[in-house]
Amino acid sequence: MSRRHLSLPTRWLMTDERMGEGLWRALERLPRGGGVVFRHHDTPPADRRALFARVLRVARRRDLLLVRAGATAMRGEMGVHGRRGRGLVTWPAHHRAEAMRGAAAGARLLFVSPLFATRSHPGARAASRAAAAGIARGLPVVAIALGGMTERRFRAVAALGFAGYAGIDCWLSGPDAPRLSPSSPSTIARAARSTIPCRGRSAGNAAR
């Protein structure tokens, strides 16, 4: 995995409606300079825009990089998830073919999942560590571990090539929720300035 990407956030929050008001607690627990993938796919459009604007205010205050999932652009977004777009492009990767599609679409960061059992996808089988490590191997991307992750579990898989991890529950509660030193505020500025031009139609809503 390319070392040139390691200035990107290494701790990420994936949002959705199940968080409720816990969203705000999770945003405050995420280390400064971290990243947020704003999903909330089932929220009505007007409410979704209003919620995104509130999250954006927190992101600016805490130097968080805010990426939008879904087809509708949001004012102030710093990147997109699962499709081609401007700013930082991130992509879900449940298997090698999906990882390769993301890299071809200009993704700089892949969320590799699931590494562990997770409430977000009940019944989904976790990948073996060897299989998970191979999903993004050799691609010019940063690999972020997703699925049942905690700081302790990340330490157990970091040597496989993962630069960081993402989650939901780990930022809401748990005894090993991280208390990390602040990331450089310039992380946001660098990623926001880096744009990948749109090349035709969306490569597809690869993950929700």
d(CA 39, CA 67): 9
What would the pLDDT profile of 2-60 be if each residue is shown by its tens digit? 333 447 999 999 999 999 999 999 999 999 999 999 999 999 999 999 999 999 999 99
64: pLDDT strictly greater than 80: yes
Residues 102-125, mean pLDDT to the nearest whole number:
80
Average pLDDT along the chain: 81
* Top-confidence residue, 40 or 118: 40
186: pLDDT strictly greater than 70: no
188: pLDDT strictly greater than 50: no
Q: What percent of the chain has pLDDT over 90?
A: 68
- What pTM value is reported for the model? 0.79
